[in-house]
Chains A and B, each alone.
Chain A
Amino acid sequence: MIATFRYEFLMQIRRPVLWIVYGLTFAVIVVTFGQPYAELSMGAGVDRHDPTTAMIVSADLLMLLLPIVYGCLLADRLIRDRRLGVVGVLDATPTGHTSRLIGKYLGTCAATAVPFALAYFGRAVAYAITEGEPSALGWAVAVFVTTTVPALLFVGALALAGPLLMPPMLFQVLFVVYWFWGNLIPPRMMPTLADSILSPNSRYVAYGLFGYRPAQQPPDVLVAPDYYTYGPVSEAALNFLRPEAGVAVALLWIGVMLVLAVSVLSLARLHAIRTES
């Protein structure tokens, strides 16, 4: 497993297109979100001098569109062995199928997340220097580990295993549509998983663990106006999947992401066993 991890990591991180695609898309994000990205604040009244809030906003801005790049660059990794005809050779090695899958999963996901992490921690270092807030680095690590890592683990499992179950081209289309429908559109527009406990782009950890509060209260929350929390959205379908944010729900969201990742990988393994026999 360690050997697979090492090789998969190195193979992915040395791919020039990984850096080219991330570079281009990151540049577009920075140019587009010029002011919010420079100030790390979304909306008037957010305390941008608070390092926790700034790091959450920074992660939010990246999580909007970069996971699509992350997923697309991962999508060809698992089916690649079969296409290159090296499955037979790999089968002859003493490493078992399951540990090879785990090694490949962790290795490629880690390598594909490196440019993501560099962009995020690069901004954190810049913030720490310009604002004179070294604690931002600590918050950046905390936010990244609790928010971004679980989300990327789930998205990574989905992107790796998806092309096994359907033609890769179809998967790419469905993956993009899923990210748009299940994570980005406002919940009142149509029944969607966005902002629910099942969405990798939910902000349960930000609200539940880090006490994040937006400056202006969105008009569509169900709760009393004297405090604002994250959770059910009025007139939205599937609200039973949107519990009110709190510490327990934030931890539950992390657990759900991990369980989903493991389930998707188990499905991929089961599928492989079925097709092998």
Chain B
Amino acid sequence: MRSLGLWSHEMKRAGPAALLAPPALVLLVVFLVAFGTRLGSREGNTAWFLMTILETGIPLLAGIAAASLIGRDRAVELQLTLPVGYRATLLRRLGVMVGWTALCALVVSALLVVTGWWDLLPAASHGLAGQLAWLSPMLWLTALGLLVAAALRSAAAATAIVSFVWLFEQMLAHLFQENPMLRLFHMFATTYGTAPDEWLPNRLTLLATALLLAAAAWPLLGDAERTLGGEKE
């Protein structure tokens, strides 16, 4: 019961933006699926937009949410006296936000599979592995946001880095595609394409490196005094 209370509290702490933005993305997808053709968008284009929303929009939401975790709590002294560690509080809040975003992403991909749009997406893998199209980049950008936020102790700095990386990988996608080493780390390999048979290795590399980033953030988040004393927004 106590833990249920904690989770519901964190849901409220997450704020309306974190809770409303992912369903807004789902609505956008529903709108495009229903009216894309009538708006004059060609079928291939619409399919590409739908994948872009899933593969780039979902990670951006989760990444920014992770990056803005630090510096939101007041009454630092009170937090430090609690029996629950501050890391657990932060991760619970992150779990609520990212979990909700992931749930919405699942709805979107189910919608795309049911309506047949998924089959039109050239690079998208089918079956369960296809879900890595959004899961891998989401976890990678979330881990990056968490690490930068923990290291720099500033939400502004962390969101700036997450946004920069997100834009950079979209703007310079060709750079990632041309280089065999960088290709493995490209977050948006489904949308912008990758070499044949390299899609799954790319997704798995992203998952593995996301784990590394999160592992690096772990000890930093453990020092509650340091994290709580970060730059106030």
Contact = CB atoms under 8 A, between A and B. Distances in A.
Nearest to B164: A25
Contacts of B171: 64-65, 180, 184
B168 A73 contact: no
Which of A69, A84, A179 has the most CB atoms of chain B within a 10 A radius of its CB? A69
A17 B154 contact: yes
Interface in B38-52: 41, 45, 49
Interface stretch (B12-20, B189-197, B205-213, B214-222): B12-20
Contact of A72 (B16, B159, B168, B175): B159
Interface string A48-90: 0000000000000000110011001101100110011000000
A176 B157 contact: no
Contact of B152 (A20, A173, A190): A20
B91 interface: no
A169 interface: yes
Report, as a range, how many residues of chain A touch the other chain. Answer: 20 to 34
A176 B68 contact: no
B232 A68 contact: no
A173 B60 contact: yes
A24 B21 CA distance: 29
Interface residues of B, number: 34
Secondary structure dominating the interface of B:
helix
Interface string A153-197: 000000000000011111011011101100010000010000000
A234 B175 CA distance: 27
Interface string B159-196: 11101101110111001000000000000000000000
B65 interface: yes
A83 B231 CA distance: 12
Contacts of B164: 25, 28, 65, 68-69
B105 interface: no
A233 B21 CA distance: 33
A169 B168 CA distance: 20
A73 B160 contact: yes
A176 B166 CA distance: 9
Interface in B118-157: 152, 154-157
A277 interface: no
Contact of A167 (B16, B45, B157): B16
B161 A176 contact: no
Contacts of A180: 167, 170-171
A271 interface: no
B167 A184 contact: yes
A172 B168 contact: no
Contact of A168 (B45, B163, B166, B233): B233
A68 B160 contact: yes
A167 B15 contact: yes
B29 interface: no
B17 A73 contact: no
Given A17-B156, A21-B161, A170-B17, A65 B167 contact: yes
Which of B20, B154, B157, B172 has the most CB atoms of chain A within a 10 A radius of its CB? B157
A73 B164 CA distance: 12
A71 to B, nearest CB: 8
Interface string B1-30: 000000000000001111011000000000
A166 B16 CA distance: 10
B64 interface: yes
B155 A65 contact: no
Interface string A1-43: 0000000000000010100110011001000100000000000
B156 A75 contact: yes
Nearest to A70: B160
B96 interface: no
Contacts of A80: 232-233
Given A68-B164, A76-B233, A170-B21, A177 B157 contact: no
B112 interface: no
- Return the 10 tightest CB-CB contacts between A and B, nearest first: A72-B160, A167-B17, A170-B17, A17-B157, A176-B163, A17-B154, A169-B17, A76-B233, A69-B160, A172-B159
